Amino acid sequence: MEACPSVSAGTTYSLSLDAPSVHELLGKHINVKEKGIGSAAQARHQKNDVFACLFNMDKVEQICSKNGIQFIHHIDIHGSGDVSLRGTTMKPRQKSVYEERKLRGMGKTAPGSVPVQESIDELDLCIKNLEKERDVQSKSARIATASLSDLGKNMKDKLTRGYGDERFKQERHDDVKAERILKEQKREAIKAKHDILDKLAEKRKMKYLHQKVRVMEL
């Protein structure tokens, strides 16, 4: 990928919008002044208010939360008409297992914890299956990444063959759509992989506690 790609008629770029740019482009057409936002500098400090003039923020937050991200008030409008919401990944706060282990050693159960009900053999089988699923999702992500790279090179090569002409409009649209689909496949595969890794960590933790309880009983 070029650090500073050259602009050409045959290349489709995304329109990237944040709060200041929304204010500068649409400030006269949306009710930002009613919210006390009179400049781009103020828009930087009242990002949610700016976007609320255009979008249903409850719906935006719902979509972002469903996909495990926190909206950072930045959107990309692609040439195919699709819109991407940018956000930061939300990671659950890691809980210390020290207190739980201490209580287990005393023959008690930590509040809110679930006693180990699966045998070590069952846990081993579950861990083995999860590892296989992890490898499948990792492979899917690699394939999508390679396909994206090939598509990008192909689109770049087409520029020398009149790709920017009007007669190639539909082909450009199809390529942009294919690129979006591949990016979505890559994102879904990575998300699925991370979910599996979380499950793996939990099952391995349960196995460790199971083994520790067995040793203490001996």
The answer to whether residues 108 and 196 belong to one domain is: yes
The residue out of 70, 90, 110 marking a domain boundary is 90
Average pLDDT over residues 40-62: 86
Q: Of the spans 28-32, 50-54, 162-166, which averages the highest pLDDT?
A: 50-54
Question: What is the pLDDT, as a whole number, of residue 148?
Answer: 87
Domain that holds residue 128: 94-218
Binned at pLDDT 50, 70 and 90, residue 114 comes out as very low
The answer to whether residues 28 and 64 belong to one domain is: yes
The answer to whether residues 72 and 100 belong to one domain is: no
- Confirm whether pTM is higher than 0.75: no
Cβ–Cβ under 8 Å, residues 67 and 191: yes
Cα angle, residue 113 at apex, residues 196 and 67 outer, rounded to 5°: 35
Angstrom CA distances, 207 to 9, 36, 46, 132, 198, stand at 59, 57, 48, 18, 14
Query: How many domains does the chain fold into?
Result: 2
pLDDT, the chain, mean: 77
Average pLDDT over residues 4-10: 58
Question: What is the pLDDT, as a whole number, of residue 91?
Answer: 59
